[in-house]
Structure 1
Amino acid sequence: MSSCNTKMAKALWMWWCLFLFSSAFLLSSEAKPTIPQPQELRSFKIQKPKDSARGCSYTVSIKTSCSSRSRTRDMVSLAFGDAYGNEVYVPRLDDPSTGTFERCSTDTFKITGPCSYETCYLYLLRSGSDGWKPESVKINGPYSKGITFYYKSFLPNGVWYGFNLCNKGSSTMELVGDPNSISQM
Structure 2
Amino acid sequence: MKRALCTLLLSAFIFTFSDAVLSSPLPEAVKSFNLSYIQNGGSCSYSVVITTSCSSPKYTRDQISISFGDAYGNQIYAPRLDDPSSRAFETCSSDTFEIDGPCAYQICYVYLYRTGPDGWKPGTVKIYAYNSRAVTFTYNTFIPSDVWYGFNLCNSASSTHRTYSQRWYVVIMGLVFALFSLL
Mapped pair 1:30 → 2:19: no
2:91 alignment partner, one of 88, 97, 103: 103
Which letter does structure 2 place at the counterpart of 1:36?
Answer: P
Q: CA deviation at 1:98?
A: 2.0
Which letter does structure 2 place at the counterpart of 1:43?
Answer: S
1:5-20 maps to which residues of 2 (within 5 A)? 14=1, 16-17=2-3, 19-20=5-6
1:161 alignment partner, one of 143, 149, 152: 149
Equivalent residue, structure 1, for 2:164 = none
Higher relative contact order (CA 8 A, sep 6+): 1
Which letter does structure 2 place at the counterpart of 1:81?
Answer: G
In the alignment, the residues of structure 2 paired with residue 48 and residue 81 of structure 1 have an alpha-carbon distance, to the nearest angstrom, of 10
Q: Which runs of 5+ in 1 are unaligned?
A: 1-13, 170-185
Q: CA deviation at 1:21?
A: 4.8
1:149 alignment partner, one of 124, 137, 140: 137
Number of aligned positions between the proteins: 154
Equivalent residue, structure 2, for 1:137 = 125
In the alignment, the residues of structure 2 paired with residue 163 and residue 145 of structure 1 have an alpha-carbon distance, to the nearest angstrom, of 17
Q: CA deviation at 1:35?
A: 1.6
> SS state of the match for residue 85, structure 1?
coil
Q: Equivalent pairs: percent with the same residue? A: 49
Larger relative strand fraction: 1
Q: Which runs of 4+ in 1 moved over 3 A?
A: none
Equivalent residue, structure 2, for 1:58 = 46
Larger relative helix fraction: 2
Provide closer, same or farther for how the CA distance between residues 26 and 164 of structure 1 changes in structure 2, counting only shifts above 3 A: same
In the alignment, the residues of structure 2 paired with residue 132 and residue 162 of structure 1 have an alpha-carbon distance, to the nearest angstrom, of 14
Q: Which runs of 5+ in 2 are unaligned?
A: 158-183
> SS state of the match for residue 111, structure 1?
strand
Larger Rg: 1
Query: TM-score, normalising length from structure 1?
Result: 0.77
Q: Deviations over 1:88-115 (max 9, x none)?
A: 1111111122211111111111100010
In the alignment, the residues of structure 1 paired with residue 71 and residue 38 of structure 2 have an alpha-carbon distance, to the nearest angstrom, of 18
Equivalent residue, structure 1, for 2:28 = 39
Q: Deviations over 1:110-155 (max 9, x none)?
A: 1000101111111101111100011111100110111111111111
Which letter does structure 2 place at the counterpart of 1:167?
Answer: N
Which letter does structure 2 place at the counterpart of 1:116?
Answer: A
When the two chains are superposed, the root-mean-square deviation of aligned CA atoms in Å is 1.8
